[in-house]
């Protein structure tokens, strides 16, 4: 039996983590007013106390136009003191702190981001739903610089690392994917052109990160549907990100506006999702057509591993971070022994913030997440919370849905 690497130190660029675990940038929805809250502080400190190597604050928009939700972080100077309190507390627990930076592109509404949502191309996004304005060429360098400015704010706030979101159908991904990028200028067409905006962002990010901040990039291995990015092109993207200076790659997949459950796997709990919605027409629309709009993609443990192995074989001399469906010490050890340098977990650490410490004590440790995806159905409107740890009593219809999904 191979010796476990799980509790050994390892480096991401200039940063050394105490073990190989990272809390993934699963959206918390804990930032009313687009600023950090006590709930966000308490959750990340609990994960750090629970033994994780690094915890990642999720999905901070680099500009107001990049906001998807009204409970999402927006990087600006006035929130730095609140974030510094969080990072100081995480450091006191012995963990590192990272923040994910991105721009949602077409996945927004005017009432959230303050303008008609923007994207790689003009069109209509059925999943928001909203009209979308294609970005002008002269706007792209300004947006790229916004990523660099967000990195500088992250350093000021005490973060050890940033994770640039280049996957899941958000703005950088919208430029990379042939599904969303139909531009006729030098930012569209061949992959070399579709990578141009990503290159410009990474240039600004690496300059801002300097020599003392780690830079991870979350990217898609596949978009998850016909007509999207697939393995061959994604391998080229991974190599380009390495050439751009990224210190580690987080290997994911899926497209929130086309294949959301390819990202998370399992069923979307439609009753839960609509129960918390406050828009009446969207609530009834999703009740009627949700199963068609959000098709199920079956869950299995380590569901991205086969694709990730193709990247491990081809992409050398850069740490690779595996994410997707890790809920047991046994499978985590298997992934690390296959050559991945770190693992990210989301739902496992929502279900049990102290799971990493328990794995240190129990070689057969397995978290108690039942994969009903209640946390996902809830997070879009309220916050990301596990149904096993709620203070409030759930209505019978939601209890029944959870039981049905967890016993499939």
- Please give the pLDDT value at position 281: 83
> Which SS3 state, helix, strand or coil, does residue 400 take?
helix
- Please give the pLDDT value at position 58: 98
Q: How many CB atoms lie within 10 A of CB 330?
A: 14
Paired tokens of 152: 């500088």
Percent of the chain residues past pLDDT 70, beyond the cut: 100
Evaluate if residue 280 carries a pLDDT over 90: no
Evaluate if residue 352 carries a pLDDT over 80: yes
Any idea what the Cα angle at residue 63 is, between residues 33 and 113, rounded to 5°? 60
Query: Distance (Å, rounded) from C-alpha 293 to C-alpha 255?
Result: 13
Cross-strand bridge partners of residue 266:
297
Query: Distance (Å, rounded) from C-alpha 41 to C-alpha 109?
Result: 27
DSSP state of 297: B
- Please give the pLDDT value at position 279: 82
Q: What is the pTM of this model?
A: 0.97
β-pair type (21-23, 15-17): unpaired
Sign of CA dihedral 285, 291, 295, 301: positive
pLDDT in tens, 113-129: 999 999 999 999 877 78
Nearest one of 140, 248, 245, 161 to 203, comparing CA atoms:
245
Average of per-residue pLDDT values in the chain: 96
Average the pLDDT over each of 32-46, 54-68, 184-198, 273-287 and give the range with the smallest value: 273-287
- Please give the pLDDT value at position 1: 57
pLDDT in tens, 83-101: 999 999 999 999 999 999 9
The domain segmentation of the chain, as residue ranges, is: 10-265+300-369
Residue among 43, 59, 147, 170 flagged as catalytic: 170
Architecture of domain 10-265+300-369: Alpha-Beta Barrel (3.20)
The contacts of residue 95 (CB under 8 Å, 6+ apart) are 18, 47, 48, 52, 53, 54, 55
- Please give the pLDDT value at position 128: 77
- Please give the pLDDT value at position 129: 82
**In which band, very low, low, confident or very high, does the pLDDT at 408 lie, cut at 50, 70 and 90?**
confident
> Which SS3 state, helix, strand or coil, does residue 388 take?
helix
Percent of the chain residues past pLDDT 90, beyond the cut: 93
- Please give the pLDDT value at position 292: 87
The alpha helices in 210-279, defined as continuous H runs, are 231-243, 260-264, 270-276
pLDDT in tens, 310-344: 999 999 999 999 999 999 999 999 999 999 999 99
Active site residue 170: yes
* Stretch 351-362: mean pLDDT: 97
**N- to C-terminal Cα distance for the chain?**
33
């Amino acid at each position: 039996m191979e010796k476990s690497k799980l509790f050994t130190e390892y480096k991401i660029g200039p940063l050394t983590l105490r073990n190989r675990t990272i809390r993934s940038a699963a959206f918390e929805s804990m930032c009313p007013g687009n600023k950090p809250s006590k709930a966000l502080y308490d959750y990340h400190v609990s994960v750090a106390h629970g033994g994780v190597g690094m915890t990642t604050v999720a999905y901070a928009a680099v500009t107001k136009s990049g906001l998807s939700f009204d409970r999402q972080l927006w990087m600006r100077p006035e929130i730095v003191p609140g974030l510094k309190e969080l990072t100081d507390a995480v450091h006191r627990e012995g963990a590192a702190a990272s923040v994910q930076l991105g721009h949602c592109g077409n996945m927004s509404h005017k009432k959230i981001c303050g303008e008609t949502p923007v994207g790689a191309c003009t069109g209509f996004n059925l999943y928001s739903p909203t009209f979308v304005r294609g970005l002008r060429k002269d706007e792209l360098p300004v947006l790229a610089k916004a990523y660099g400015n967000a990195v500088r704010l992250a350093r000021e706030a005490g973060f050890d690392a940033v994770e640039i979101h280049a996957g899941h159908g958000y703005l950088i991904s919208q430029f990379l994917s042939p599904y969303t990028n139909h531009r006729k200028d030098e930012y569209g067409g061949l992959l070399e052109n579709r990578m141009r905006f990503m290159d410009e962002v990474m240039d600004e990010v690496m300059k801002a990160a300097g020599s003392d901040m780690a830079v991870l990039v979350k990217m898609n291995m596949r978009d998850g549907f016909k007509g999207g990015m697939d393995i061959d092109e994604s391998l080229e993207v991974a190599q380009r990100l390495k050439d751009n200076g990224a210190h580690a790659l987080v290997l994911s997949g899926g497209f929130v506006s086309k294949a959301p459950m390819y990202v998370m796997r399992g069923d979307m709990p439609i009753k839960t999702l609509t129960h918390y919605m406050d828009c009446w027409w969207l609530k009834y629309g999703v009740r009627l057509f949700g199963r068609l709009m959000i098709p199920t993609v079956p869950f299995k443990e380590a569901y991205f591993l086969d694709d990730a192995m193709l990247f491990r074989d081809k992409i050398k001399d850069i740490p690779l971070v595996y994410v997707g469906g890790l809920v047991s010490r046994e499978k985590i050890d298997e992934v690390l022994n296959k050559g991945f340098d770190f693992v990210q977990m989301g739902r496992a650490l929502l279900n049990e913030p102290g799971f990493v410490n328990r794995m240190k004590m129990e070689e057969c440790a397995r978290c108690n997440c039942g994969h009903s995806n209640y946390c996902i159905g809830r997070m879009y409107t309220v916050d990301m919370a596990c149904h096993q740890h709620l203070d409030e009593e759930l209505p019978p219809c939601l209890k029944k849905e959870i039981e049905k999904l967890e016993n499939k």
